[in-house]
Amino acid sequence: MIHSQWMEAKETLQRQNRLYLTNVASFLGKYFDGYENSIREMARIAADQHKFEGTPESVHALRSWLIERLRILPDAISVIHADNNGHFIRLPYIEEKPDWDPRKEPWFAISIEDSDEAHFSISRDPFARKERVLTISLPVINGNDGANSGVLALNLDLDKIAEILNTAIPPTKSRTFIMTREGELVINPGYSINPAKLKSLARYTREYRGDFIMDSHYYAYRSVASQSWLVIHEVDENELNDLVWKQCSGLIWSILFLLVVLFFCWWATRAAMNAIFMRIATSIRKGGFKPAAVEELIYEEIQSSQQRQEKTAHEAMTDVLTGLKNRRAFDIDAARYNLEPHTYLAIIDLDNFKIINDTWGHTVGDTVLKTVSELGLRLRALDNISLYRYGGEEIAVLFQGLSQEKAQSYLEKWRITVNTRSFREKGLKVSFSGGLVRMGGASLNEVIARADKLLYQAKKRGKNNVIVSV
């Protein structure tokens, strides 16, 4: 049980880190896509309406149009329009460098060679005196004859992009950075990384399609920026194991406490039985043996011992706050249910529970969790529906011998009842999201993973809904 709990806690933390990385990569992807779409639109309009003809009128019109576009790009440092003859316009306007030829810049060369894609590169901006800027470059293609008349380049501030990584709050102590697939560092928010380590990471990302362990560190990665860069998330394995230990230590201490209680019950029962036997032996010796009285005494002692054991076992399998069965009871019941036909598993999670705790305090959060649990117990009205506090604000529900429609109906009735429940706190509205899957046909961990996946889909769809597997 301890090993299972340890592995499950570790997998949960890794899953949280993967989800965090996916969110960061998705945000960065949208961030880069937004600027890429902007420069694509600018290149199209520049090719059709603002040709670089070299006349004062055309230069003035192109410069005015570029500065209007630059004003609506908050993180842009500059925009450069360069033609194939080396003439260029750079905004904001800075005194031109007569010895600077844009055609010698890598972003110009790669855009001229490949006219289909926007290119992301790290370059130097000599005008703004910045050693490293993110340049998104795209050729200017004439819409009539397909001729390449030059390159349009947009320079972004790398410090602004690094702020995105710094402000994101990971689930565990970790480091997140961006590198190329060849092992070159692109964005590093405030810490040094060995170049040899980056090369090793690049090799591992080519060999592994998922997470991997390297040099006692756990790594996850996602693609970003037109699949040319990688967002790397690094977690020290010792840090991960410390968090897992903190989660599992409660189980270990609970088991030790339960063993002590069971030992005490055994000792108390043995002492009571010894006293009874001594009284029986004394009665026999003195001739005062009363069978009815002795049988009554033995019955009372055995019953008392059973009641103590039953109470201890009930407390060990029940969550104190909600009155639901606890995670340990779930592990036992779910393993058995997964071998039986017509069984279903649902995992629900209260929406915005952290906001409730932060806004009204943990006491109100406990009240909300307890109220939702009580409503679920009150509405079930069937012995073959079991509720468990799965962890935090998550509740697991096991259905035995019920159809999927009945299981779904119960969850929806529970969800609507929670939605309409009023609380004393002004503005407090409670809802939950969930996923319902059929059990059997796979290992218990795979069944739980499917339910978790549906739960995350319900969250992404706007929360306050239950998704059922098809």
Tell me the pLDDT tens digit for each residue of 394-408: 999 999 988 999 999
Cβ atoms of 32 and 119 within 8 Å: the answer is no
* 349 and 443 share one domain: yes
pTM of the model: 0.50
Dump pLDDT digits (tens) for 413-423.
Answer: 999 999 999 88
CA 219 to chain centre: 15
Find the CATH number of the domain harbouring 65: 3.30.450.20
Which is the catalytic residue, given 8, 105, 234, 393?
A: 393
Percent of the chain with pLDDT over 70: 88
Sheet containing strand 185-187, strands side by side? 185-187, 175-180, 229-236, 217-224, 212-214
The answer to whether residues 240 and 172 touch, using CB atoms and an 8 Å cutoff, is yes
End-to-end CA distance of the chain: 32
- Residue closest to 38 by CA, chosen among 92, 63, 74: 74
Q: Which residue has the higher pLDDT, 172 or 48?
A: 172
What pLDDT score does 118 carry?
85
Angle at 259 between CA 257 and CA 264, to 5 degrees: 95
pLDDT-derived band at 144 (thresholds 50, 70, 90) equals: low
Q: How confident is the model at residue 210 (pLDDT cuts 50, 70, 90)?
A: confident
Identify how many contiguous H helices and E strands the chain contains and give both numbers: 12, 15
Active site residue 393: yes
The token pair that represents 102 in the structure block: 């844009």
**Same domain (yes/no): 365, 459:** yes
Region of poorest pLDDT, from 76-80, 362-366, 382-386: 382-386
189 and 280, same domain (yes or no): no
CB of 462 within 8 A of CB of 352? no
pLDDT in tens, 286-338: 655 455 455 555 556 656 666 777 777 767 788 888 889 999 999 999 999 99
In whole angstroms, give the CA distance from residue 67 to residue 76. 11
Same domain assignment for residues 115 and 232 = no
One domain for residues 116 and 234: no
pLDDT of residue 140: 85
In whole angstroms, give the CA distance from residue 154 to residue 132: 13
- The average confidence (pLDDT) of the chain is 84
Higher-pLDDT residue of 250 and 133 is 133
Does the pLDDT value for residue 105 go beyond 80? Answer: yes
On whether both 19 and 151 belong to a single domain, the answer is no
221 and 121 within one domain: no
Does the pLDDT of residue 387 top 90, yes or no? yes
Instruction: Using the 3D structure, point to which of 157, 190, 223 is the last residue of a domain.
Output: 157
Backbone angles phi, psi at 419, to 5 degrees: -60, -40
d(Cα 418, Cα 376) in Å, to the nearest integer? 9
Asked if pLDDT for residue 39 goes beyond 90, the answer is no
pLDDT grade, residue 379 (50/70/90)? Answer: confident
69/89 same-domain check = yes
In this structure, are 452 and 364 located in the same domain? yes
Same-domain pairing of 363 and 457: yes
Q: What is the CATH number of the domain that holds 17?
A: 3.30.450
Output the domain CATH number for residue 356: 3.30.70.270
Among 212, 247, 239, 334, which residue's Cα sits nearest to residue 7? Answer: 247
